[in-house]
A and B are shown apart, each in its own frame.
Chain A
Amino acid sequence: MLPSIAIAKAVAYADSIALMAAGITLIYMCTRTFNFAHASFVTWGLYVVYAMTMLQGGSPYYYLPLAFLFVGVLGVAVYMLVIGPLMRRGASPTTLMMTTLGVDLVLLSTIQMFADFLTRTYRLYARRVVLEVYDFNTLGIPGITYVSLIIVVVLIAAIHWFMVKTKFGTAMRATIENPDLSSVLGINPNVVYIASWFIGGGLAGLGGGIASLAISGDPTIGSRIIVSMFASSIVGGLYSVYGSVLGGLLIGLTEYLGIMLLSTQLGGWILTYRPVIPLIAMAITLLIYPRGLAGINWGKALLRIKSLGGRTWK
């Protein structure tokens, strides 16, 4: 049996992955860009929370909104300086995806420099970020488990409200479906794309901020968990933000708890192979049901399960 603390940390980790995956999916749905720079977005979110906690003091939770804002603005900058101009020149989704790999390398360098700056100027050990000690504890469970769960639920409800109830949200859904028709109706698709990079980037930053309290971080943490983010997005279904959140929770929990269970059975050597779990999940989804969880007709699936249950076997 796994200790309850491990399950609690797995929940917090899964919540952070769910937010990151939601960001990837939103950006992909709006601008057809598979954003590999999400790795550095997440790391920047983690470092914003770390640096502010260390330099300004107080709880790391105070700085989660700042992580959202900072990385949201970073996302807008990436769109306006790199992705937007390429889209206007008719770049293909593959070109856009490869470009984000380059952007990620540049951003990774800025994180490395920032970590060195923190070390040299403030004597902080910024190459290994551990903020767990700043977290509160309730009933033996770390605070981030409760807070991250609340954040995921509230944010998804807020995104749903925004997309369905507001004029701009409806315009966003319309632009995702048919950008040409949207512009024919007087909607500026560029504004919708900017908003998607802001929200998508913000979600990555927030996910990184939450991860800073759930796992130990370093400048390459984003590159190590990018597989989990993409796997979540694909398992959830690339065309649904809600699906990606579900995929994130599934992948995060399976990866965190699965590798712990395997290591207790097979030994510590297996820990190195942790990214294989999301990779397998991604491969299975692409082979069996590429449309992911969001593409499943749940009503039909339930009826089928019920009919199987009612069958008598001879």
Chain B
Amino acid sequence: MLLEVRNLISGYGKLKVLFNVNLDVEEKEITVVVGPNGAGKTTLLNSIMGIATIYDGAVYYNGSKISGMPTHKISRLGIAYLPQMGNVFTELTVNENLRLASYLLDKAEVKDRMDEVLSLFPVLDKFINRKAGTLSGGERRMLAIAMALMRRPKIILLDEITTDLAPIIAKKVLNQIIDLRDKLGLTILIVEQLAKIALELGDQAYLLVSGTMRYSGKALELLRHPDFSELYLGIKKI
């Protein structure tokens, strides 16, 4: 198991958002966490990354406990995170954003990685000296993914990657993620509100409602569950 979340109770300040949450992410698989708005999906990723406050429980990466570590140290272990909002530096150019994503690498390595990443997202090459704030929503999302890939992470955590994107672009971005898993052997943890699209591409799935896990199992099984809508809305429990 690459990433494990055990009996996690977490939140912000005095507000508890997640209650006894458990999650397993297998290597080279796409794990999807779906749930309605306000279920605590972003808090789950923020807890893994050390941004939210953990009151109880723990997070393990490759068997070692990472909960309690500062965010920058968690990131250096090979965990990349794409937050839903503010996932690029709008005041910096595309070039600066990509270079910053490889902050800890030496110059020669940065050049190699940059070429590699730009070959995956050739559209970014055209805007290399433009400020990221001037890019469209889809282009920004691509830049954010490219930034995550610059460090060749072992696992990427994606928070609502399709938000604000037109359905065609959203599908394109998600297909690109499957390609990345296949090409680079990445492990991916996606948190998504667009349950149908996300479950279609996932291997394992979790359903998070009101801060508690209501389902864990195969993604397609959850999608085909006869009471999926009720489960999703928290009206029914398994």
Binding site for B on A (CB under 8 A): 90, 167, 170-171, 173-174, 177-178, 180-189
Q: Are A180 and B83 in contact (CB under 8 A)?
A: yes
What are 28 contact pairs spanning A and B, CB under 8 A? A90-B13, A170-B92, A170-B96, A170-B99, A177-B92, A180-B51, A180-B86, A181-B87, A181-B88, A181-B89, A183-B70, A183-B71, A183-B72, A183-B75, A184-B71, A184-B72, A184-B80, A184-B81, A185-B75, A185-B103, A185-B151, A186-B76, A186-B104, A187-B72, A187-B103, A188-B70, A188-B72, A189-B72
Q: Measured between C-beta atoms, what is the minimum distance from A38 to chain B in Å? A: 26
Instruction: Determine whether B90 belongs to the interface, using a CB cutoff of 8 Å to chain A.
Output: yes
In the bound assembly, the distance between CA atoms of A117 and B147 in angstroms comes to 56
Known: A173-B92, A174-B89, A178-B89. A185 touches B147 (CB 8 A): yes
Q: Are A184 and B49 in contact (CB under 8 A)?
A: yes
Q: Are B71 and A177 in contact (CB under 8 A)?
A: no
Q: Measured between C-beta atoms, what is the minimum distance from A88 to chain B in Å? A: 10
In the bound assembly, the distance between CA atoms of A178 and B51 in angstroms comes to 13
Provide the B7-21 mask, 1 if CB < 8 A to any CB of A, else 0: 000000100000000
In the bound assembly, the distance between CA atoms of A167 and B76 in angstroms comes to 17
In the bound assembly, the distance between CA atoms of A177 and B97 in angstroms comes to 12
5 closest cross-chain pairs (CB), A and B: A183-B71, A186-B75, A183-B72, A188-B72, A184-B81
- Chain B residue numbers with a CB within 8 Å of A186 are 72, 75-76, 103-104, 151
In the bound assembly, the distance between CA atoms of A182 and B100 in angstroms comes to 9
Across the interface, name the chain A residue whose C-beta is closest to B49: A184
B contacts with A: majority SS: loop
In the bound assembly, the distance between CA atoms of A173 and B88 in angstroms comes to 13
Across the interface, name the chain A residue whose C-beta is closest to B76: A186
Q: Are B99 and A184 in contact (CB under 8 A)?
A: no
- Chain A residue numbers with a CB within 8 Å of B76 are 186
Q: Given A171-B103, A177-B91, output 4 extra A-B contacts at Cβ < 8 Å.
A: A173-B89, A177-B89, A180-B71, A185-B103
Instruction: Determine whether B101 belongs to the interface, using a CB cutoff of 8 Å to chain A.
Output: yes
A contacts with B: majority SS: helix
- Chain B residue numbers with a CB within 8 Å of A90 are 13
Looking at B90, B99, B100, B104, the one whose CB has the most chain A CB atoms below 10 A away is B100
In the bound assembly, the distance between CA atoms of A183 and B76 in angstroms comes to 10
Q: Measured between C-beta atoms, what is the minimum distance from A69 to chain B in Å? A: 27
Q: Measured between C-beta atoms, what is the minimum distance from A99 to chain B in Å? A: 20
Q: Measured between C-beta atoms, what is the minimum distance from A291 to chain B in Å? A: 15
In the bound assembly, the distance between CA atoms of A180 and B84 in angstroms comes to 12
Looking at A180, A184, A189, the one whose CB has the most chain B CB atoms below 10 A away is A184
In the bound assembly, the distance between CA atoms of A171 and B91 in angstroms comes to 12
In the bound assembly, the distance between CA atoms of A185 and B86 in angstroms comes to 13
Known: A188-B72, A189-B72. A181 touches B92 (CB 8 A): no
Across the interface, name the chain B residue whose C-beta is closest to A188: B72
Q: Measured between C-beta atoms, what is the minimum distance from A29 to chain B in Å? A: 12
In the bound assembly, the distance between CA atoms of A142 and B29 in angstroms comes to 72
Looking at A174, A177, A186, the one whose CB has the most chain B CB atoms below 10 A away is A186
Q: Measured between C-beta atoms, what is the minimum distance from B151 to chain A in Å? A: 7
Q: Are B100 and A174 in contact (CB under 8 A)?
A: yes
In the bound assembly, the distance between CA atoms of A181 and B82 in angstroms comes to 9
In the bound assembly, the distance between CA atoms of A170 and B103 in angstroms comes to 10
Q: Measured between C-beta atoms, what is the minimum distance from B54 to chain A in Å? A: 15
Known: A173-B92, A177-B89, A180-B71. A185 touches B100 (CB 8 A): yes
In the bound assembly, the distance between CA atoms of A178 and B104 in angstroms comes to 18
Known: A185-B103, A186-B104. A173 touches B83 (CB 8 A): no
Known: A170-B96, A177-B90. A184 touches B70 (CB 8 A): no
Q: Are B91 and A173 in contact (CB under 8 A)?
A: yes
- Chain A residue numbers with a CB within 8 Å of B83 are 180-181, 184
- Chain A residue numbers with a CB within 8 Å of B88 are 181
